[in-house]
Amino acid sequence: MSIQEGDAAPAFSLPASGGRMVSSTALQGRPYVLYFYPKADTSGCTKEACAFQEALPQLGKLGLEVIGVSPDPIKPIEKFAAKYNLTFPLASDETKETAQAYGVWVEKAMYGRKYMGIERSTFLVDAKGRIARAWRKVKVDGHAKDVAAAAGL
């Protein structure tokens, strides 16, 4: 199942860095960015998280929350957030339910080996809880700027 622009954003409730809980219910009536990344503290994921951290002031002006989601347990996520001073919530989706609901838990292949993993993806959810924009198979360079531009900057 693949989420399309215009669809209702799937509901979620996840533990996040800083002892927080993030949920679609708590975000009702507010736009937000939900981005899925494969693994905390790896080069591409670090680059992406730091770019979103840098874009926070601009995104904040639009009232946009940013939430990163990975299948990592909360402990490595907390270490990752602390190491790079990431102030936005990084959520743990160990069950992969949220990733599956968004259609980003997919079969991947590397060196001829097939495995299941996160397809780096970002969703811009509007204040009505609908997918305003969806980016799949994200290339990290310049992505946070693209999201900010799409959000209306």
- For residue 152, give Cα distances in angstroms to 24, 30, 59, 129, 149: 22, 15, 9, 17, 5
**What residue type is assigned to position 9 of the chain?**
A
What are the residue numbers of the active site? Answer: 45
Nearest-angstrom CA–CA distance, 98 and 94: 9
Asked whether the beta carbons of 117 and 106 are under 8 A apart, the reply is yes
Residue corresponding to tokens 């996840």: 14
Identify the three-state secondary structure at position 46. Answer: helix
- Domains delineated in the chain: 13-150 (3.40.30.10)
Q: For residue 123, give the DSSP letter.
A: E
CA gap 142, 125 in Å, rounded: 20
Task: List the pLDDT tens digit at each of the 153 positions of the chain.
Answer: 578 899 999 999 999 999 999 999 999 999 999 999 999 999 889 999 999 999 999 898 888 999 999 999 999 999 999 999 999 999 999 999 999 999 999 999 889 999 999 999 999 999 999 999 999 999 888 888 899 888 875
Determine the pLDDT at residue 3: 86
Nearest to 14 by CA among 126, 127, 99, 130: 99
Closest CA to 34 of 108, 107, 95, 103: 103
Question: What is the model's pLDDT at position 62?
Answer: 86
Q: What is the pLDDT of residue 110?
A: 84
**Closest residue by Cα to residue 68 from 55, 54, 86:** 86
Tokens of 119: 């397809």
The pLDDT assigned to 140 comes to 86
Distances (CA, A) of 111 to 67, 75, 108, 114, 136: 31, 29, 10, 8, 22
Confidence (pLDDT) at 64: 92
